[in-house]
Chain A
């Protein structure tokens, strides 16, 4: 982390969700830089570029056209250049099946998109301020899903 800001990337096909996400961080004033991508293909194209700036935390929506969040997750974990990125699953559903699958594939935390903007801000600020080193070491299925 050579930069003095936190680099965040969100891949989500939903325009509203991207808006909420950027709004939340602009209101949070946490010295972050946010990039968004409209789907998995765009995201992977960016990440695969030679001079791509790797994010500190990557937020992945699961249900995206062209390339789903799960597919992105698998690609990223298979690539040594990217496998160190902290990955947050950012999804509408919190089905047992999705949680189980992404946990096994190596995601770091799972957020269910809240229906309240205040709660959204709270959960995003919590995720960004996590001590990833510590969190990753003590990661287990119980604290994988972030509950508010």
Chain B
């Protein structure tokens, strides 16, 4: 964003400067024109003066010629003819000069031609007079008419000269007016140029100044950012690199060198130098990935190993993303991270997991085999006892019968224990298959399994409609069965058991029990009975394996049933809680994640 603004301001600056230069050029052009106009005017004024001067010369030469000629007429001395002859020559020269000076003015040229004619006429007349003088015909009529004609010609010449002078003066007047106006505007132009230049310089300066301030602030920020990047690279064990693809130039951050076990900037940053550190087995793969980076804008992580000069092997992970600079150059910005610790931890963890898994398997196999192998001798004891009871019962004394009964109940109890243990080890097995099952059906099946007890105890079971859920079906049925038989087993002797099963869908946040819940919604199923209950202080203990709250003579139980329940619920990532009140009943609440 900021760089964009800066870029804009640079553009603005360029436009202002170009505009200023254009204006200065424009004004300069105008000024040049004015000055050249001025020079022209000056030239013209000078030429007018020259014209006037030449005309004056002509006048004076004419006077010289006239007076010289007169003196000659009076004295007949040829000496006086010299100025007269010189005048003739001088006048011709002057006329030539005038013709040159007025070459651009057709009227003056015409006037000059007339003047020239008149002068020629005058000198012709002088020559004719001279002839008369030589013949001494001075007082003749023809001499007088010559003199008269001379006067007329001279008058005409003077008029003509005056006319030329007047016209020239009039032209001079006009030109002087132009010259004045030119002279008036010239300083204004100069001033304008100065002003505009000044404004442009001020605008440019202030713009450059604000840009400089901005750049300085950004530089400061960049410096801070760079330093914090350095720090975070050291702490986070990663380094960054930039690849200018078009010019094939690399830059590596200091910490990238440290990752390789080298001093910062100790070798030239390029891919070949980097490859020297890469583990020989990973070189091909990494080179391929780098080629890939040019094509793809964003790459998945690349993991590879490096070998430091001291032989240490490190695991590195790199990630790169293409970006384009403001001038459209493609660059690849990469982060390379040292993941050696993570990899080592992961490997260790994996090994531990495997060990745990092995242990678990062994334990489960042991549990299963133990329970299974224990069954066989027990079954035989039971069979022999039943044989004894059937065939030899009449040979026993009363105490013999009693002992037989004791053996029977002890072996029955052992059978129950082994069955439950087997069941427990089965719930521990890892092969759990989750399927969508109708919980109502599973509950009905469980009810069927205890149907005889229900009949015997005249138990009343009321149940809500249950939903379908993704469960390990046989385990859920086992759970229902265990909870039902638990309630039936620990019923009060004097009252018929009443078991209520209630269902609701709940939000985890609404249930105080579910502080550690990982899902938002749960199926909540409660089993409430009117049995003998238990002391609330044992609410957690009753789920422990082999934990019993009553002695064996009172209530037959193995202390495994509720542990199985807990195990099953844990397998389903649910929760089970018990609440009891002595002689009032107990409530078991189970939560199953809603999926």
- What is the interface of chain A, defined by CB distance below 8 A to chain B? 14, 16-17, 20, 23, 92-93, 95, 113-118, 120
B372-A116 in contact (CB<8A): no
Chain A min CB distance to B427 (Å): 13
Q: How far is the CB of B435 from chain A (nearest CB, A)?
A: 16
B387 near A92 (CB under 8 angstroms)?
no
Determine whether the beta carbon of A115 is less than 8 Å from that of B379: yes
For residue B493, CB closer than 8 A to chain A, the reply is no
- Minimum Cβ distance to chain A for residue B584 (Å): 38
Query: Chain B residues near A93 (CB, 8 Å)?
Result: 372, 375
Q: Could you list some 13 contacts between A and B, CB below 8 A?
A: A16-B383, A20-B383, A92-B372, A95-B368, A95-B372, A113-B379, A114-B383, A115-B411, A116-B386, A117-B386, A118-B386, A118-B390, A120-B383
B378 within 8 Å of A by Cβ? yes
| A115–B381 alpha-carbon span in the complex (Å) | 8
- Known: A115-B386, A117-B386, A117-B387; 15 extra A-B contacts, CB below 8 A, are A16-B380, A20-B383, A92-B379, A93-B375, A95-B368, A95-B372, A113-B379, A114-B383, A115-B378, A115-B379, A115-B415, A117-B383, A118-B386, A118-B390, A120-B383
Tell me the nearest residue of chain A to B386, going by C-beta.
A117
Give bound CA distance, A21 to B387, whole Å.
12
> Closest approach, in angstroms, between the C-beta of A146 and any C-beta of chain B?
16
The answer to whether A92 touches B383 (Cβ under 8 A) is: no
Scoring B residues 365 to 398 as 1 if CB is less than 8 Å from chain A, else 0, what string do you get?
0001000100110111011101100100000000
Smallest CB–CB gap between B373 and chain A, Å?
Answer: 9
Residues of B within 8 A of A120 (CB): 383
Choose among B372, B383, B384, B387 the residue with the greatest number of A CB atoms under 10 Å from its CB.
Answer: B383
A122 vs chain B, min Cβ distance (A): 12
Residue of B nearest to A93 (CB): B372
Could you tell me if B376 and A116 are in contact, using CB atoms closer than 8 angstroms? Answer: no
**Contact A117–B390 (Cβ < 8 Å):** yes
Instruction: Point out the residues of chain B lying under 8 angstroms from A113, CB to CB.
Output: 379
Residues in A neighbouring B411, C-beta threshold 8 A: 115
* A116 partner, pick from B368, B375, B378, B383, beta carbons under 8 A: B383
Partner of B382, one of A17, A23, A116: A116
Q: In the assembled complex, which residues on chain A have CB atoms less than 8 Å from the CB atom of B382?
A: 115-116
6 closest A-B pairs by CB: A115-B382, A117-B386, A115-B379, A116-B386, A92-B376, A117-B387
A118 to chain B: which residues have CB within 8 Å? 386, 390
CB distance from A23 to the nearest CB of B (A): 8
When C-beta atoms are compared, the residue in chain B nearest to A20 turns out to be B383
What is the CB-to-nearest-CB distance from A148 to chain B, in angstroms, rounded to a whole number? 13
The CA-CA distance from A114 to B376 in the complex, in Å, is 10
State in angstroms the CA–CA spacing of A7 and B196 once bound together.
130
Closest to A23 in B: B387
Q: Which residues of A contact B378 (CB under 8 A)?
A: 115
Option from B375, B390, B415 in Cβ contact (under 8 Å) with A92: B375
Q: How far is the CA of A120 from the CA of B390 in the complex (A)?
A: 13
The proximity string for B residues 146-165 relative to A, scoring 1 for CB distances below 8 Å and 0 otherwise, is: 00000000000000000000
User: B377: nearest residue on chain A (CB-CB)?
Assistant: A16
CB neighbours (8 Å) of A23 from chain B are: 387
By beta carbon, the residue of chain B nearest A116 is B386
Interface hub of B378, B379, B415 (most chain A Cβ within 10 A): B379
Distance between Cα atoms of A24 and B55 in the complex (Å): 174
Q: Tell me how far the C-beta of A110 lies from the nearest C-beta in chain B, rounded to whole angstroms.
A: 16
Which residues between 290 and 329 of chain B lie within 8 Å of chain A, taking CB atoms? none
Interface centre among A17, A114, A115, A117 (most CB of B within 10 A): A115
CA A93 – CA B422 in complex, angstroms? Answer: 11
Residues of A within 8 A of B415 (CB): 115
Contacts of A14 in B (CB 8 A): 376
Inter-chain CA distance A93–B369, complex, in Å, is 10
Bound CA span A17–B368, Å? 22
Name the CB-closest residue of A to B387: A117
A17 to B384 alpha-carbon distance, docked (Å):
11
**Distance A114 CA – B386 CA, assembled complex (angstroms):** 11
Q: What B residues does A92 contact at CB under 8 A?
A: 372, 375-376, 379
- The distance from the CB of B5 to the nearest CB of chain A, in whole angstroms, is 74
CA distance A117 to B385 in the complex (A): 9
> CA–CA, A92 to B419, complex, Å?
12
CB distance from B76 to the nearest CB of A (A): 175
Q: B residues 386-420 with Cβ under 8 Å of A?
A: 386-387, 390, 411, 415
Complex-state Cα separation, A24 to B179, whole angstroms: 153
Question: A93 to B379, alpha carbons, bound, how many Å?
Answer: 11
Residues in A whose Cβ lies below 8 Å from that of B390 = 117-118
CA separation between A20 and B383, bound complex, in Å?
8
Chain B hits for A20, CB < 8 A:
383
CA distance A76 to B272 in the complex (A): 71
Contacts of A117 in B (CB 8 A): 383, 386-387, 390
Considering the complex, give the chain A residue whose CB is closest to the CB of B368.
A95
- CB-CB nearest in chain A for B375: A92
Q: How far is the CB of A99 from chain B (nearest CB, A)?
A: 13
Q: What's the nearest-Cβ distance from chain B to residue A90, in Å?
A: 12
Q: Min CB distance, B378 to chain A, in Å?
A: 7
Residues in A whose Cβ lies below 8 Å from that of B380: 16-17
Residue numbers in B under 8 Å from A17 (CB-CB): 380
In the complex, what distance in Å separates the CA atom of A50 from the CA atom of B368? 42
With a cutoff of 8 Å between Cβ atoms, the chain A residues found around residue B387 in the complex are 23, 117
> Do the beta carbons of B383 and A115 come within 8 Å of each other?
yes
Task: For the complex, give the distance between the alpha carbons of A17 and B382 in Å.
Answer: 12
CA distance A114 to B382 in the complex (A): 9
Q: Mark B63-92, 1 if CB is under 8 A from A, else 0.
A: 000000000000000000000000000000
CB distance from A24 to the nearest CB of B (A): 10
Cα A92 to Cα B382 with chains together (Å): 13
Q: What is the bound-complex CA distance between A121 and B64, given in angstroms? A: 184
Rounded to whole angstroms, the CA-CA distance of A75 and B253 in the bound complex is 73
Give the docked Cα–Cα distance between A120 and B16 (Å): 111
A113 to B383, CA, bound (A): 10
Chain B contacts for A95, CB-based, 8 A: 368, 372
Residues of A within 8 A of B386 (CB): 115-118
Residues from chain A with a CB closer than 8 A to the CB of B379 are 92, 113-115
A65 to chain B, nearest CB (A): 14
B448: min CB distance to chain A, Å: 12
B288 to chain A, nearest CB (A): 48
A92 and chain B: residue at smallest CB distance: B376
Q: Which residues of A contact B376 (CB under 8 A)?
A: 14, 92
| Residues of B469-505 contacting chain A, CB below 8 A | none
Residue of B whose beta carbon sits closest to that of A96: B426
Q: A118 to B375, alpha carbons, bound, how many Å?
A: 18
Q: How far is the CA of A115 from the CA of B376 in the complex (A)?
A: 9
